[in-house]
Each structure stands twice: as structure tokens, then as C-alpha cells.
Amino acid sequence: MLPGAHASEAAGTLGASDATAQLPLEQPVGSGPASLSATSVSSNEHTGGDVSRLTQLVQQGRVTLLRSTAAGNYSASLSFFGDDLTYYVALLEQNTYWRVIATRNKKRAEAVYANFVTQTGSLAAVQTRRAELAAQEAATQRLIEQAQIKAQQLQADAEIAQTQRDEVATQQALAADQVKNLKAADQDARKKLSQIRHQVVGLQIASNFGLPPEHSARLRKTGKHAQHTKSATLATAQ
């Protein structure tokens, strides 16, 4: 809605009568009868003022649209009623009369129209900014949702990785225990093997007790073989 300061400024500066009642307008001023309900028309007739007057003239198709400017949901129009040479300047929001100024001074009508056009641009700028901020907020919310989904995915990946690390650590610890046990078993086996070898040696010594050493018998046998070979050689030579 227009700030009250703008309304009083327009009325005081231009010296024109105005009305602030809102009436639904289905089509631009001067383009033909407005599609107003009987209740709205009756209400306007009782309310009076420039809004109801312009509404009736629009319904009757008796005004000529001179200029019209629209921005967003807001628009300004300048119309002329030739029967009494009156200019009607209107400010609308979503095709609903917001303010109507009636004057027979063309310059004043144009000045009011220029003022309404300026206000239309300002109001539309606020509306546009609001729409942009709403869109930015929606986009930010989408980014937040995407970030949350990504965070959940990363968390799931981290949990899987941690589970795998725990399994590997468990397997490593088990393998280390197995290696330790195998080393201990190998040491025990080597110790047992050494004991068995000493036992075998002792048994061999016991079994050869009272007999010539095995290496002495081997030497005697080797000497007799060498002497026999020498005798055979001499005999052949003779």
C-alpha cells in the first residue's frame, strides 16, 4: 500500500480530490465496461467519491484512456471524461483501484500521473526485491538440503571406512598372535629336535660300547686294501 505521506503529498500539492477506497477492476480504464458485481457498484454509489465515479464511467464506457503504465502488480492510468472535461488519474494494485484523482487541469493531471508512475515503479521494485529474496531463500534452502544429503553420504562413507579399519586391525592383531604362537612352536620344536639328537648320540655311544671305534676299523680296512693293490701291481710287472 502507498504510505500515508505520499497520499497527503499528492492531495496537498496538486489540489485535486482523491479517494482511497479499493474496487476490483477487471479491465483498463476506457477499454469498456468494467466487470463489477452489483454489490460493488451499489457500495460505490453509497460511498461516493472519485473511485465510484470513475468506476461508473468505466462501466458505461464513457472515459477515454490516455496513458497507462504497469510495473509488477501495480499500474497507473490517465483517463479523460469529455462530457465535463475532467481528467481521472488512477493508481491500481492487481487491477484494483487504489487511489483516484479527478481534476480539470491537464497539467495537474499529468503531474499526478507522473507521480503515480514513479510510485508504481518504487512499489514494483519492492515487490521485485521481495520476490528475488524469496527465490534466494528457496535456493539457499535447496543448497542446505543438498549439503545435508552430502554430509549424510560422507558420514555413511566414514562409518564404512571405520568399520573396515576396525576389521583390518582385528585381523592384524589375530595374525600377530598367530605369528607369535608359530614362533614359540618353532622354538619348542627346535629345542625338542636338539634334545632328540643328543639322545640319539647317547644311544649310539651306548650301543658301540666295548667295540673299536668305527673310524679305526675303517683305517685298518683301507690299509689292507692298499697293500693288496701294491702286491698285485708288482706281480704284473714281473
Taking only the tens of pLDDT, the chain with its 238 residues reads 443 333 333 333 333 334 433 333 333 333 333 333 333 333 444 345 898 898 889 889 999 999 999 998 999 999 999 999 999 999 999 888 889 999 999 999 999 999 999 999 999 888 888 888 888 888 888 888 888 888 888 888 888 888 888 888 888 888 888 888 888 888 888 888 888 888 877 777 777 776 666 655 565 556 655 565 656 665 565 5
Question: Residue 75 pairs with which residues in a beta bridge?
Answer: 70, 92
Report the candidate in 95, 99, 103, 32 with the shortest Cα–Cα distance to residue 63: 32
C-alpha cell at 154: 560422507
DSSP tag of 212: P
Question: Residue 97 pairs with which residues in a beta bridge?
Answer: 23, 92
DSSP tag of 96: E
Distance CA 3, CA 105 (A): 25
For residue 52, count other CB atoms closer than 10 A to its CB: 22
Report the candidate in 103, 132, 107 with the shortest Cα–Cα distance to residue 16: 103
Asked whether the CA dihedral 138, 140, 145, 146 is positive or negative, the reply is positive
Element (H, E) at 19: strand 17-19
Q: What pLDDT does residue 232 have?
A: 61
Distance, first Cα to last Cα, the chain: 154
Element (H, E) at 86: strand 86-93
Element (H, E) at 163: helix 106-207
For residue 208, count other CB atoms closer than 10 A to its CB: 11
Q: What pLDDT does residue 12 have?
A: 36
pTM listed for this prediction: 0.46
Q: What pLDDT does residue 159 have?
A: 85
For residue 11, count other CB atoms closer than 10 A to its CB: 16
| CB-CB contact of 21 with 51 (8 Å) | yes
Q: What pLDDT does residue 226 have?
A: 57
DSSP tag of 49: S
Calculate the dihedral angle through the C-alpha atoms of 59, 62, 68, 73, rounding to the nearest 10 degrees: -10
